[in-house]
Amino acid sequence: MTLSVGDAAPDFTLPDSDRQPFTLSEQRGTPVLVVFYPFAFSSICTGELCQLRDELDTYTGAGVQVVAVSTDPAPTLKAWKEQQGFEFRLLSDFWPHGEVAKAYGTFFETAGMANRGTFLVDAEGTVAFTEVNGPGDARAQSGWKDAVAALAV
């Protein structure tokens, strides 16, 4: 089941690349862009997250916190974050494997990974934007930017 605009965003706590916990509900009062992706170090994921890195001011300048989620273990995320210079948190949905991706309707059971799902959670914890793409189907980030701009209106 994929989430729809207007749904309450499922709460979660996941470790980041430094094994520090991130809890969505603790971010209330701040919108959060939650970006699910299949795997660190893969070509499409690297391209998408590097674009996000390069355009991060678009989100943070609008008061939106950005987190990216995969089923990779935290040490893998740490190495990738350092290699690419990501300034947003990479969260590990490694164990229980893919549970948060499942809650957001983005888990690809056959491959044991998250699909490309993007969710803008508003300051009250409600889904304000959602997009889910299959593996190999890169996302255009223009829709994310439009959703962030709409929050400011």
CATH number of 30-128+142-151: 3.40.30.10
Domain spans of the chain, in order of start = 30-128+142-151
Q: What is the pLDDT of residues 4-19, one digit of tens each?
A: 999 999 999 999 999 9
DSSP, collapsed to helix, strand or coil, labels residue 151 as helix
Q: What is the pLDDT of residues 42-68, one digit of tens each?
A: 999 999 999 999 999 999 999 999 999
**What pTM does this model have?**
0.95
Q: Does 50 qualify as catalytic in the annotation? A: no
pLDDT of residue 66: 98
User: Mean pLDDT, to the nearest integer, of 133-147?
Assistant: 87
Judged by phi (left if over 0) then psi (alpha if -120 to 50, else beta), residue 29 lies in: left
pLDDT of residue 61: 94
Active-site entry in 32, 40, 45, 113: 45
- Kindly state the percentage of the chain with pLDDT values over 70: 99
What rounded mean pLDDT belongs to the chain? 94
